[in-house]
A and B are shown apart, each in its own frame.
Chain A
């Protein structure tokens, strides 16, 4: 079983729709959860992090965490073509991100104008 699993996609949504990205993890000791966005040929950039069960909203982005189900998701509202990228889910055992991250393979999102 892979440590962090994501659907590879591609996930295609029309502009203005909600994009839902999902991630499951196997290590119950995981404490910190991150979503990175990676444009083709570029390095990853952090867009959301979450530590506690429930929802965390930041602008058009909402991260959801359910530790009992070992599940974390990212919702992107009012999707824009500029949101088209690969979204990487990452988890860490430590309380902060100052430790190694374990990444999923990423989900390719395409937002169609």
Chain B
């Protein structure tokens, strides 16, 4: 596809359940980022993947959050034992690693609602 895609677009789950969110970056983009946006707030960095380097997990809010990425392709963000405060829009972005400037292109997001 031409842009970053994410699925599902909406997810409603019950407190305590696990959820898995998927991101397909733009083909050829080596860098992939996950952000979270709570209602009325700015974007909050979660995790960053760059090629085969160790990911930067410094933004993950708790050990209930984890993410994986295989090579330079799809990434999944997993939230275990979801809590109501996890309700937010989860945004994925990707960028290329070429040149001095690399724009981060965002996907449409997954809106997660924890009841």
Interface residues of A (CB under 8 A from B): 4, 42-46, 49, 88, 90, 95-106
Q: Knowing A49-B101, A98-B97, A100-B33, say if A43 contacts B42 (CB, 8 Å).
A: no
**What residues of chain A lie closer than 8 Å to B42, measured between beta carbons?**
4, 88, 103-106
Q: Knowing A104-B42, A105-B41, say if A46 contacts B103 (CB, 8 Å).
A: yes
Total A-B residue pairs with C-beta atoms closer than 8 Å?
Answer: 55
B residues contacting the other copy or chain, number (CB 8 A): 27
Q: How far apart are A77's CB and chain B's nearest CB, in angstroms?
A: 23
Q: How far apart are B49's CB and chain A's nearest CB, in angstroms?
A: 11
* Distance between Cα atoms of A95 and B106 in the complex (Å): 20
Digit string of B98-110 for contact with A (CB within 8 Å is 1, else 0)?
Answer: 0111111011110
Whether A100 pairs with B59 at a CB distance below 8 angstroms is yes
Whether A98 pairs with B95 at a CB distance below 8 angstroms is yes
SS class, residues of chain B in contact with chain A: loop
Answer yes or no: B86 CB below 8 A from chain A CBs. Answer: no
User: CB-nearest residue of chain A relative to B3?
Assistant: A43
**Residue from A4, A96, A100, A106 in contact with B102 in the complex, judged by beta carbons closer than 8 Å:** A96
SS class, residues of chain A in contact with chain B: loop
Of all A-B residue pairs in the complex, the 10 with the closest CB atoms, nearest first, are: A103-B42, A43-B106, A103-B43, A98-B102, A105-B42, A100-B45, A97-B102, A46-B103, A98-B31, A96-B102
* Distance between Cα atoms of A106 and B48 in the complex (Å): 22
Q: Knowing A97-B95, A97-B103, say if A42 contacts B45 (CB, 8 Å).
A: no
Answer yes or no: B44 CB below 8 A from chain A CBs. Answer: yes
* Distance between Cα atoms of A65 and B72 in the complex (Å): 34
* Distance between Cα atoms of A42 and B109 in the complex (Å): 8
